Amino acid sequence: MSFSTDLLKGKTALITGGGTGLGRAMGERFLELGATVIICGRRQQVLDDAAREMMAACGGRVIAIPCDVRDPAAVDALMEHAWAECGGIDILVNNAAGNIASPTERLSHRAVDAVLGIVLHGSFYCTLAAGKRWLAEGRKGKVLSIVTTYAEGGSAYVVPSAAAKAGVLAMTRSLAVEWGPRGIICNAIAPGPFPTKGAWDRLLPDPSLLGEAIDRIPLRRPGELIELANLAAFLVSDLSDYINGECIAIDGGEKLKGGGQFSWMGSLSKEQWEALEQTARGTTARDKKQM
């Protein structure tokens, strides 16, 4: 069974971090369902390549706009571009993310600021910029924020991410009450393990750890990107208009089994931590070369 192919026809969706990973998967599904998709991120070439490939595979229209969501002026310029190009947006997906797996005492201030800036500040800036415009126009809108299954309970070894995602979840629930009466619906998705190259290179670079990760999931497998994309499509569509302020976990039951966080990393040796950090630094360096 599948959605009607015109489920999102006439809608314009802005997806932060839309050129790779979960963001791109959601963008492709929205395209297939009739939406115009705007993707943003910091790497222009990655965005341009993604837009071209997405349109070739799915049809429709993709607009690539570079933006560092940590910069409120850049976010405002992004929204101005979206309003000028498309007459505004109907859907905002706060997907841009950053995470670092590390013993907390080894983190630098820069590392903490980077995660909080992208995840918490970026989501707030984008939501505020879109919300102000919707409210001024008396226009309905939907905000979907991608959080984590540890946003409510926290997690060792990814403390900046846990704090940032908890803040985004609190923002989602708060604005659902404040803006709901004025036609703006806010929800969140809390994904469990979904294999995306950037995230898994940083958080699970050692293939030997994959089996342990799978064992913590009752369904004994990671999620498939289309499964998350379908949930996102439903939540931003008119079919979900009575769902507001909710956070829906999509994790194969991992959270219910006591997983959904990184506390298991307490068993890693010093050598494993050093290997993980070296791999993460290499991934970050490759990303910077594409900017």
Please list the active-site residues. 150
Q: Are 117 and 11 in contact (CB under 8 A)?
A: no
| Helix or strand run (H / E) with residue 136 | helix 122-137
Of the candidates 52, 35, 6, which has an alpha carbon nearest to the alpha carbon of residue 93? 35
Q: Answer whether 157's CB lies under 8 Å from 216's CB.
A: no
Q: Are 34 and 5 in contact (CB under 8 A)?
A: yes
- Distance (Å) of CA 13 to CA 83, 111, 137, 200: 12, 30, 17, 26
Q: Which two tokens stand for residue 67?
A: 């933006």
